[in-house]
Structure 1
Amino acid sequence: MYDICALGELLIDFTPAGISDEGRPLFEQNPGGGPANVAACIARLGRSSAYIGKVGSDPFGRSLISTLRSFGVEVKGVKTTGFYPTTLAFITLDENGERSFNFFRNNTADLRLTPGEVDMSLIDEAQVFCFGSVSMTGEPCCSATLSAAEYAKNADKVVCFDPNIRLALWENDLVARDSCLRALQYTDILKLSLEELSFLTQGMNLHDGALTLLKRHNLDAVIVTRGEKGAYALTLSYEISVPAYQVKTIDTTGAGDAFLGGLLYRMLGFGKRPEKLSNAEMMLSLDFASAVGAMVTVRRGAMTALPTLDEVYECMRKTVKE
């Protein structure tokens, strides 16, 4: 059995790593991809996870599989192809460590995952199924993603959707919004950023937007990350906000994925479905997730910056919250 099974993109992030002696920018090769980061985070913290996706049978793809395996993630659901390359993303950071992405993703391997290549037995063996919208930006991977989400929902798994919207990968904003809203029919837990909440609800504020999504799509919980303002959760029973841990941020890449991994890790510890969690249990889950997300931002990269459980607890003991 696995605690979670995640499906989606697995790619190489080229992260800024200083300037060469000749004055040219240097980039460091790091493993990434939202759902893969979540699977790695869960494993890093000590629970079990499996990952489903597709990479090229090139040095980048082999490196990614090896990295997931080193975290303890089950990788038998990863397909490889010699016909399409592994996706690459070059990241730029502003003075606050906030990142922007430039993708090299034309006919790349992760988009070529077909519904027939998805190992549904991994979903059968998991408690939670996680997916995002990046794998919905083209076919056949969109069909593979939604068929897996539907399968998980029908199998009574807890389904978690993190849109992780990258508008440059979509045909236009309308297609991106409609596709993400379509995925909510299979979703129990929706985790998104404040900017993504505004995008999906066409400008609604935090409370009204979360409540609209919760009720309209029959969700169990809407979880919103708010950067330095902390995190927020809304269910039919309660509304909660927790402050952020104040750390020296150098790179926010993967922080949202780590937050989600931490959230699911803590939720799973209560042994309940999300709709059964009490106010106090959700607050503890949000606080733990905030610490995990904060820890990722103090190091470069996403997957390689994931903290251990001891590091998370040390952050919670010693770091000021605002």
Structure 2
Amino acid sequence: MKAVLSLGELLIDFVPETNGQALADVGSFRRAPGGAPANVAAAVARLGGRARFIGKTGTDAFGDFLIQTLADVGVDTSFLTRTAEVKTGLAFVSLKEDGERDFLFYRDPAADMLLERNDITDELFAEAAVFHFGSLSLIADPARSATVYAAEQARKHGLLVSYDPNVRLALWPGAEDARRTILSYMPLADVVKVSEEELEFLTGTVDVREGTASWFTQGVRLVLITRGKQGSTYVLPDGSTGDVPGIPAQAVDATGAGDAFVGAVLYQLAERMTCNPGDVLGGLNHEVLVRLLTFANVAGALATEQRGAIPALPHMAVVNKALDDLREKR
């Protein structure tokens, strides 16, 4: 299997020991490794795939911990660089009773924001099938220029490009700047994943066909919309859509659930590109997409059943058991 490359932020999530408290009322937090693109790389590796992470940490104890965490789950960190200029990013996460989150970020700036174009080298793309990036590295230079360059190079090397807007308005100068910037980079992507809330924020509508239509005119070829415990929806350039139900889960923390979903999707696409190096997206009919998204829905649901992001990402054996249980019930 060829590698999945993931570029962006790698940081520490501090999560409370109990749910249902406002951030100001939390008495103690537990350290957990996180950062959406890093979570995606870890999700691919946990499933048994090859994953490389491209990013930057500080030369501090938190950076040491994050690099070791990725290495321990099997992610190639050869292209992860470090800086002594600023510290590794932090995020404090308040968990509501339903497992949803409120964030407070410490990134003024953080090390991941200093990723540079020179950190992107040709050997990164060797034996790779998919390149994935998010929107947080597009907020400001130098990380923005490095991200765009990496996506362009991925296209040049024949990789499939995946984009997760992952809207975090607290990190942007303003909502309109976030919307405009996120949308402006849609032409870089083959596959786009958004949540229902992100679709409405970016497009002003919850109608999946209407909301995604302009993205397909810019070159996007597959849009995936996550709907929490309800599952997910796919949209294709011809306007065809399909809903794939989720599975029940005892959710305690939704942190990383979307990243587990993305990692599961990209793992499967990379695996298909190994077997069939032709037009992998062109071969995704309804039947194939239902299988692909069922697998990803299960991975995402399982990731909600433990606290933190990377520690909660499921192994292949766990996903397969849940899939077997699902088939038996049906």
**What TM-score, normalized by structure 2, do the two folds share?**
0.92
CA distance in structure 2 between the partners assigned to 1:186 and 1:18 by the alignment: 40
CA deviation profile, 1:66-106 (whole Å, cap 9, x unmatched)? 01111111101111111210000000011100011110000
Map 1:4-83 to 2 at 5 A: 4-18=4-18, 25-83=27-85
Further displaced range: 200-209 or 51-60:
200-209
The letter for the 1-side match of 2:319 is: V
CA distance in structure 1 between the partners assigned to 2:126 and 2:182 by the alignment: 24
CA distance in structure 2 between the partners assigned to 1:269 and 1:154 by the alignment: 20
Out of 307, 321, 327, the residue aligned to residue 314 of structure 1 is 321
Residues 212 and 135 (structure 1), Cα distance of their counterparts in 2 relative to 1, 3 Å cut: same
Aligned-residue offset at 1:282: 1.1
User: Does the CA-based 8 Å contact 1:161-1:191 persist in structure 2?
Assistant: yes
CA distance in structure 1 between the partners assigned to 2:113 and 2:67 by the alignment: 17
User: Does the CA-based 8 Å contact 1:56-1:81 persist in structure 2?
Assistant: yes
Aligned-residue offset at 1:126: 1.1
CA distance in structure 2 between the partners assigned to 1:120 and 1:178 by the alignment: 30
User: How many residues are treated as equivalent by the alignment?
Assistant: 318
The 3-state SS of whatever aligns with 1:80 is strand
Further displaced range: 279-288 or 116-125:
116-125
CA distance in structure 1 between the partners assigned to 2:303 and 2:170 by the alignment: 24
The 3-state SS of whatever aligns with 1:95 is coil
Map 1:105-254 to 2 at 5 A: 105-214=107-216, 216-236=217-237, 238-254=240-256
User: Does the CA-based 8 Å contact 1:267-1:282 persist in structure 2?
Assistant: no
The letter for the 2-side match of 1:74 is: D
Aligned-residue offset at 1:177: 1.2
CA distance in structure 1 between the partners assigned to 2:63 and 2:215 by the alignment: 36
Q: Which residue of 2 aligns with 1:88?
A: 90
Residues 90 and 70 (structure 1), Cα distance of their counterparts in 2 relative to 1, 3 Å cut: same
Aligned-residue offset at 1:207: 2.7
User: Does the CA-based 8 Å contact 2:56-2:111 persist in structure 1?
Assistant: yes
Residues 76 and 319 (structure 1), Cα distance of their counterparts in 2 relative to 1, 3 Å cut: same
Aligned-residue offset at 1:204: 4.5
- 1:275 aligned onto 2:268: no
Higher relative contact order (CA 8 A, sep 6+): 2
CA deviation profile, 1:170-191 (whole Å, cap 9, x unmatched)? 1111211121112111100001
The 3-state SS of whatever aligns with 2:185 is helix
User: RMSD in angstroms over aligned alpha carbons?
Assistant: 1.9
User: Does the CA-based 8 Å contact 1:2-1:50 persist in structure 2?
Assistant: no
Identity %: 39
The 3-state SS of whatever aligns with 2:302 is helix
The letter for the 1-side match of 2:120 is: V
The letter for the 1-side match of 2:222 is: A
Q: Which residue of 2 aligns with 1:3?
A: 3
What stretches of structure 1 of length at least 5 have no aligned partner? none
CA distance in structure 2 between the partners assigned to 1:159 and 1:101 by the alignment: 28
Residues 161 and 139 (structure 1), Cα distance of their counterparts in 2 relative to 1, 3 Å cut: same
Aligned-residue offset at 1:202: 2.1
